[in-house]
Amino acid sequence: MRAMAGTDDDPTTRSEKPEFSIRVVSRLTSLSADTLRIWERRYGYPKPVRADSGSRLYSRRDIERLTLLSRGLKFGFRIGEMVSLDDVDLKQRLAQTSHDRFDSEESTLSHDLVDCAIADEIDALRVRLRRTAVMLGTKRFIAEVAGPLLHELGDAWEQGILEVHQEHSAMEVLQSQLYAMSTAYEGTEGPVVVLATLPRETHGIGLQLAGLYLAACGAVPRIVGVDTPPDQIAKGAEAFKADAVAISVSVAASSVAVANHLNHLLTVLDARIPLWLGGNGAPRLAEIPERVRLVTHWDELEDALLALRAQP
């Protein structure tokens, strides 16, 4: 006897009936319960039904789609891109995975690292950063992991899916990893580069990244700190016998204030010392003083260092 539409015997109805716990779904799809909760908060999928007890319930259709998404992660796809596709398109993309990928492995890695922070898996974050640093080396780690991770953390913060304690914990782990890596370059010789941020710029991890990258390139970084008056930056350059000064500017910085501080710095800084300007906010400045070299990418930082070495 043929089943009537809308009954529990109807395969379509059964596939949509929420009856599986998050523990069962996790086991069937190889996706952790934390990952499922994170996706629900970040992407609005999956959308489990809440039982009277408050626990999440998923349907067979959810399991089928989550299995596809899990397979896509293993192929190197990014969940943020996959979740917007319907099942037909998703299956086509997976079938063509060797030729058509959504994002690089590095971006996928940084995305996964943020998920560790959101899930409060700080020990896992620390271990993954340490292993990746050993595998990639300093320059690639900074360019392909640490830098993208900072952007991902910022995006998660803006979207309201990263708690204050999670952001602070993740930053502490990253800074500890950078500090551990910097000890390998202690006692080296090379061009001295003083790094600082201008007044009202209080975030210093960008300086730490740039300093470590410079050290890996054979320079000697000297970080004088954040929120530093131009006069003190100039005095620091004199004290450390700097060959160059690098300033980091955030996207939140006032263009007018930055221009004023830079012009003042140029009047007190030894004219023989090049002034480099980097950070996410640097390209947004309306006008760059003539003596200032814009350095917005890691390869441009290496080019600036090469030019410095070529000076008589």
Show the CA angle centred on residue 160, arms to residues 155 and 165, nearest 5°.
Answer: 95
* Confidence label for 288 from pLDDT (cuts 50, 70 and 90): confident
Residues of the chain with CATH 1.10.1240.10: 105-181
Tokens in use for 244? 């160059």
Q: 78 near 107, Cβ under 8 Å?
A: yes
User: Could you report the per-residue pLDDT of 221-280, keeping only the tens digit for each?
Assistant: 999 999 999 999 999 999 999 999 999 998 888 888 999 999 999 999 999 999 999 988
Residues of the chain with CATH 3.40.50.280: 189-310
Strands 56-58 and 20-21, bridge-based pairing? antiparallel
Residues of the chain with CATH 1.10.1660.10: 17-95
Q: Which amino acid is it at 264?
A: H
| Topology of the domain covering 17-95 | Multidrug-efflux Transporter Regulator; Chain: A; Domain 2 (1.10.1660)
- Cα separation, 115 vs 62, in Å, equals 21
**Chain center to CA of 237:** 30
Q: 194 near 245, Cβ under 8 Å?
A: yes
Give pTM, 2 decimals: 0.67
User: Could you report the per-residue pLDDT of 3-59, keeping only the tens digit for each?
Assistant: 333 444 444 444 577 888 998 898 888 888 888 998 999 889 999 999 989 899 999
Query: With the CA atoms of 250, 253, 255 and 256 taken in that order, what torsion angle do they form, in degrees rounded to the nearest 10?
Result: -150
Three-state secondary-structure class, residue 193: strand
What would be the CATH architecture of the domain defined by 105-181? Orthogonal Bundle (1.10)
| Topology of the domain covering 189-310 | Rossmann fold (3.40.50)
